[in-house]
Amino acid sequence: MPTGDFFASSYAEARSKFRAAAHAASARLTAHTLPDIRGPDNEALTVDVAALLPDKPKAVLLLISGTHGVEGFCGSGCQIGYLVDRLFDALPPGTGSLLVHALNPYGFAWLRRVNEENIDVNRNFHDFSKPLPASAAYEELHDALIPNDWDGSARQAADGALQRYVASRGAAAFQAAVSGGQYTRPTGLFYGGTQASWSNATLRRILESEVPDTVKQVISLDIHAGLGPRGYGEPIYVGGADGFERAKQWYGPEVTNIAEGTSTSARVAGSIADAMQGLVPTAEAMHLTLEYGTRPIWDIFTALRADHWLHAIGDRQTPRREEIKRQIRDAFYLDEPAWKAAVYGRTADFIWRASRGLAKA
């Protein structure tokens, strides 16, 4: 199958391709259905899980797609390629694979980065019994990020306010304020929620049911899109210094570290990476995000603002709806052969690196 055929043009097509590839690879398939919500063609919205596990595995390679909904076009294609090309054959004896397809199926199907509650799933992995991070920096910008109107003077004034903020405080401070995660504006960007989302609870159920207590290592790759150079997959590490040194030994010196400020991503609150060790408490966990660049950052930022403006009011009436939905899809998925080949090739390379690391562990 040509590399480009691993990728799909819709959530429904991606799900069908993933399940077909999993069947062909003799994986055990399970599905977790999002309750009460359907897709654009009235299809069920599910997180599909393909398990390729030996008896009493010692380690598991975990591949996650669609944490940020619309970014699932990228990650799904890589997971399908993993199954079709049988990359799991490179894993050492005693190691299995677990593929979580479309962790945020609502966002994937409806072309949103967030979930059915406008929650950024990768800002939602908190202990909600404890105080949530402060959102003062985001509060200062919210009204400009989502103006009352997307055209005319209101939009111009909002854009001017954002540009002045960047000019006075710098791009890094702006990125941190906007994308770090906020917990006070349910219609805003990068909203982390006030309780565990369905996707959060579902991932926990999957890992609890699929990862037996014989597993002593979970190596996870969470595939994202949007930041960085076009087609390049930045390997982003989140965690302690000891784990970072281990990640560089396994994956190479290009691994970046949010804590050290070497990543294109700002430090974020409530990420899957922060929670991974607790998600599999009996095993040592090492989590890496692969972030694939698409378009210039301001184009992506504008697409996110437009989509949040569109959904800030339920069933907002605007002739720009189709344009906005096309814009956000194009911000996180380049339907181009060269980009798809670069994305899949880079992911396959990191899967091989993970396999070598597991063999030496």
Burial readout 225-247 (b: 16 or more C-beta within 10 A, e: otherwise): bbbbeebbbbbbbbbeeebbebb
Cα 309 to Cα 327: distance, rounded to the nearest angstrom: 13
pLDDT of residue 207: 97
- Burial of 151 by CB count in 10 Å (0-12 exposed, 13-18 middle, 19+ buried)? exposed
DSSP per residue over 93-158, as a string?
Answer: TTEEEEEEE-SSHHHHHTT-SS-TTS--GGG--S-TTSPPPP-HHHHTTHHHHS-S-SSHHHHHHH
Tens of pLDDT along the chain (361 residues)? 899 999 999 999 999 999 999 999 999 999 999 999 999 999 999 999 999 999 999 999 999 999 999 999 999 999 999 999 999 999 999 999 999 999 999 999 999 999 999 999 999 999 999 999 999 999 999 999 999 999 999 999 999 999 999 999 999 999 999 999 999 999 999 999 999 999 999 999 999 999 999 999 999 999 999 999 999 999 999 887 788 999 999 999 999 999 888 999 989 999 999 888 888 888 999 999 999 999 999 999 999 999 999 999 998 999 999 999 999 999 999 999 999 999 999 999 999 999 999 998 8
Cα 17 to Cα 8: distance, rounded to the nearest angstrom: 8
- Whole-angstrom CA distances from 149 to 153, 155, 318, 329 are 8, 6, 10, 21
User: For the CA atoms of 51, 54, 58, 63, what is the dihedral angle to 10 degrees?
Assistant: -20
Query: Per-residue pLDDT tens for 185-202?
Result: 999 999 999 999 999 999
Q: Which residues contact 5 (CB under 8 A, 6 or more apart)?
A: none
The residues spanned by each domain of the chain are 3-130+197-294+321-360
Supply 203's token pair.
Answer: 């991932």
* Nearest one of 287, 262, 255, 283 to 274, comparing CA atoms: 287
Q: How far is CA 150 from the centre of its chain?
A: 27
Are residues 84 and 351 in contact, defined by beta-carbon separation less than 8 angstroms?
no
Are residues 107 and 114 in contact, defined by beta-carbon separation less than 8 angstroms?
yes
pLDDT of residue 298: 95
- Cα dihedral across residues 165, 299, 113, 347: positive or negative: negative
**Radius of gyration, CA atoms only, the chain:** 20
DSSP per residue over 200-220, as a string?
Answer: HHHHHHHHHHHS-TT--EEEE
Query: Per-residue pLDDT tens for 280-317?
Result: 888 999 999 999 999 999 999 999 999 999 999 998 99
Q: Give the type of residue at 13.
A: E
- Cα dihedral across residues 153, 158, 159, 160: positive or negative: positive
Give the class (CATH, top level) of 3-130+197-294+321-360: alpha beta
Are residues 96 and 131 in contact, defined by beta-carbon separation less than 8 angstroms?
no
pLDDT of residue 233: 97
